[in-house]
Amino acid sequence: MRSTAPISSYDATPANRFWQTWALELTLTDTFLQVAIPTPLYQCFDYRPRCKEGVANGCRVLVPFGRRQVVAVVVGTASTTDVPANKLRSVLKVLDEVPVLPPDLLELLQWASRYYHHPIGDVLASALPVLLRRAAVAEVPRVECYRWLRAPLKPVNTRARVQADLLQRLAAASGDPVDAQSLSSVSRGWRKSLQPLLDDGAIERQDLDALPKNVATDTPPVLLDEQAIAVLAVAKTYGSFQPFLLNGVTGSGKTEVYLQCIDAVLARGEQVLILVPEISLTPQLMQRFQRRVSGCLVSLHSGLNNTERLQNWMIAAKGHADVVIGTRSAALVPLPRLGLIVVDEEHDGSLKQQDGFRYHARDFALMRARKQACPILLGSATPSFESLNNVSAGRYQELMLSIRAGGAQAPKLALLDIRRQKLFEGVSEPLLSAIGKHLSAGNQALVFINRRGFAPTLLCNDCGASSTCQRCDAHMTVHAKRRQLRCHHCGAERPQPSQCETCQSDALDFIGFGTERISAALQERFPDVTMARIDRDTTRRKGALEAQLHAATSGEAQLLVGTQMLAKGHHFPGVTLVGILDADRGLFGTDFRSLEHMGQLVLQVAGRAGREVKQGEVLIQTRNPDNPMLQTLVREGYAAFADAALTERKVAMLPPYAFVALVRAEATDATAPRVFLDRVIQELSNWQGPDLMTLGPAPAPMERLGGRYRAQVLIQSERRARLNACLKDLTGFIDSLPEARRTRWSIDVDPVDLF
Ligand code: ADP
Ligand code: ZN
Ligand code: ZN
């Protein structure tokens, strides 16, 4: 392909031609642009630049790729290339003058590409909002403004009232820009009257970036001692890297600590990044920040459309945003004035991306804080075992908040032994009577079951057949109101049969319980009570979650039933009783993190009880009341529970005492993943030894999902560097492996689950 470098000034006299051709070739062979293109390949691609000025790293360029044109990001330049001259193609268009990904962030993303063993092109694309991946212009939307310069030379026609009004408004702003919208309120024909003033030179047009400005309405409370100590400890580290674990029981005022740290960072003229697991589930949190922070506050989450997302992203990236509050991917946004990162609910699994570029937003944020030299505050009532281990190892400084703010007592936890108990639709009599007691005292009660739908299985009593999904190794959940069976793994749906699908018997039974069934049962038991069910099914409609949360917060709904959506940092002032129906599931989970997650979930749900004046009570139904882990959790609390569970992890050489990666493979036929992973294991035999172990190939805990068969290999090492080197070797090997093309495969470094 011919170069498209500019030759407009080409002087075609024979004497000049030699020199100019030579000079042109020199500049062209001098620099090739190395660009990252979103493909499954681990390499970058060389292109000829469009002009000899070169393009800065981190800028987007449009390049031909195969038969398509794609948006690529420049990651480097080189003076030589392996691509033969006749194959080398040229950049079609340079899309940015200023890099969309600044150098420090670009380097971090390149590091992440190596750490997570994910192709650089895809990593960089993940960091950009969708519209920038599609060649949109990278700019903040602008507002038309005008400003006063001096008194007009030509006297204003005083009878032209509109013109006089306009001039008066601009003069009153004494040189500050006034936006067109407020000028338009003077008169509909305001532009016509403005023109003579512009011509005169008395005023000028000056367009400004359109920025949301937030004004705080609430004043901060006086901090409790532990809160003040925390804020002070963080303040000592501004301008340098220091990780903190803010380990505070539910309701201890962690958010208040974030807010006061934010004030200090904004006073330093720096930006704050706040990562939260799921903003859409906690609209209260966003409102709280809006009430307290003055400045430019933007959010980044999945609820935004592409245009909104691009705007907020640009406002953050240009350094205009003072506070950026967002989910996972906000960790990847450029922030030139970054002064503090807060990761709220740092233990939450949704901070980990579960497909494509499988990064952990908390871990990426840590690297980022190090690179941009700022403190990072990880907050949780139930810290991840990784973070607790980092505290023990002296890598993080721990800040404790041990009492609830606002005078509330810690809730009392108790186990309810439900063996040999008669249950009413899965709920024991002691729990029912406790609910009755709390409700008649005028309080609210919350019942937690981490399963939506009516019942997880429909079973035939005659032939034993159950409602299995045709595409997964899983049961389909009964959704009684819609008379449907739904697979919660692949989304498949079919009508709920009235007869057994195998033997046509009428003797069908619902096995197990979900939120729909529990709330129906409780409504039957407490017919006069207003109930709210909060799960993904009841909150799908826009505004539905807000409405349900409002009912819960205001006390209008007295009895709440829900899934883990209810566990997420909500503040329901009137809730004094929490009942947990199915904690046992986490005790015997297949995953090495099941227990950790169970402990976190139980305490997070429990944390919804008694957040104001009245003491909260938490009743946990169990068939394993003697389980030592459950007992430790309930009697001694999270720290003791984590200690005990960490000892088990250490013995088993599991994270955080070792590092693991999971190689997953899936295909529509059952053999391809096995064949592929057998080759992987062969290759890994070079690496196996006392400091690197492998497990598998084995079928995934759910082998068939969405019509695909899945298998996996676990790689485990005490040494991060060894695991990393092994994975690097492995990706190179897989790249050239024909079997890899017959299956969909991925590498998950530091997986949060082995599902
Ligand atoms: P967490 O984030 O740890 O769950 P919050 O910051 O939401 O805790 O605080 C719990 C409750 O206590 C909130 O209603 C909050 O307004 C209140 N609170 C927090 N800190 C203080 C304080 N220093 N003085 C009075 N009330 C406080
Ligand atoms: Zn049957
Ligand atoms: Zn399914």
DSSP labels, 264-308: HHHHTT-EEEEE-S-GGG-HHHHHHHHHH--B-EEEESTTS-HHH
Q: What is the pLDDT of residue 652?
A: 87
Same domain, 449 and 395: no
CATH of the domain at 260: 3.40.50.300
* Ligand 1 pocket member 221 (CB < 6 A): yes
Structural domain includes residue 479: no
> Stretch 47-58: mean pLDDT, rounded?
83
Taking CA 82 as the corner, what is the angle to CA 81 and CA 88, rounded to the nearest 5 degrees? Answer: 70
Distance 483 CA to ligand 2 centre (A): 19
Q: Whose CA is nearest to atom 12 of ligand 1?
A: 405
Last residue of a domain, one of 209, 237, 252: 209
Same domain, 446 and 589: yes
Least confident of 22-31, 281-290, 391-400, 602-611: 22-31
Which chain residues have CB less than 5 Å from ligand 3, an ion? 469, 471-472, 487, 489-490, 492
Structural domain includes residue 475: no
Structural domain includes residue 384: yes
CATH of the domain at 175: 1.10.10
Q: How confident is the model at residue 156 (pLDDT cuts 50, 70, 90)?
A: low
Least confident of 152-161, 321-330, 375-384: 152-161
Atom of ligand 1 lying closest to residue 405 CA: 12
Q: How buried is 15 (Cβ within 10 angstroms: 0-12 exposed, 13-18 middle, 19+ buried)?
A: exposed
Same domain, 447 and 583: yes
Last residue of a domain, one of 160, 179, 209: 209
Same domain, 422 and 366: no
Beta-carbon contacts of residue 415 (< 8 Å; ≥ 6 apart): 620, 622, 625, 630, 631, 634
Beta-carbon contacts of residue 636 (< 8 Å; ≥ 6 apart): none
Q: Using the 8-state DSSP alphabet, how is residue 155 labeled?
A: P
Q: Indicate the average pLDDT of the chain.
A: 89
Q: Highest mean pLDDT range out of 17-21, 69-73, 648-652?
A: 69-73
Q: What is the pLDDT of residue 284?
A: 79
Rounded to the nearest 5°, which phi and psi values hold at 167? -65, -40
Same domain, 186 and 300: no
Last residue of a domain, one of 175, 209, 243: 209
Same domain, 344 and 447: no
Contact 203, 148 (CB under 8 A): yes
Judged by DSSP in three states, 717 sits in: strand
Structural domain includes residue 745: yes
Distance, in Å, from the CA atom of 414 to the CA atom of 422, rounded to the nearest integer, reads: 19
Distance, in Å, from the CA atom of 245 to the CA atom of 384, rounded to the nearest integer, reads: 10
Q: Whose CA is nearest to atom 10 of ligand 1?
A: 251
Q: What is the pLDDT of residue 194?
A: 86
Same domain, 450 and 590: yes
Q: What is the pLDDT of residue 251?
A: 85
- Please name which of 62, 58, 83 lies closest in space to residue 72, comparing C-alpha atoms: 62
Q: What is the pLDDT of residue 476?
A: 95
Residues of the domain holding 535? 412-455+512-649
CATH of the domain at 745: 3.30.70.360
Structural domain includes residue 173: yes
Number of domains in the chain: 5
* Ligand 1 pocket member 250 (CB < 6 A): yes
Contact 119, 171 (CB under 8 A): no
Q: What is the pLDDT of residue 87?
A: 85
Contact 313, 131 (CB under 8 A): no
Alpha helices in 637-711 (DSSP H): 638-651, 671-684
Please tell me the number of the ligand nearest to residue 403's CA: 1
Same domain, 382 and 273: yes
Same domain, 371 and 440: no
Q: Which residues pair with 559 in a beta bridge?
A: 445, 531
Task: Decide if pLDDT at 15 tops 50.
Answer: no
> Stretch 655-681: mean pLDDT, rounded?
93
Same domain, 77 and 157: no
Task: Decide if pLDDT at 645 tops 60.
Answer: yes
Atom of ligand 1 lying closest to residue 344 CA: 2
Structural domain includes residue 390: yes
Alpha helices in 66-135 (DSSP H): 103-115, 120-127, 130-133
- Probe target for ligand 1 pocket from 246, 256, 284, 570, with the most ligand atoms within 8 Å of CB: 256
Structural domain includes residue 466: no
Residue type, 645: A
Same domain, 366 and 424: no
The pTM assigned to this predicted structure is 0.88
Distance, in Å, from the CA atom of 647 to the CA atom of 653, rounded to the nearest integer, reads: 10
Structural domain includes residue 480: no
Same domain, 626 and 532: yes
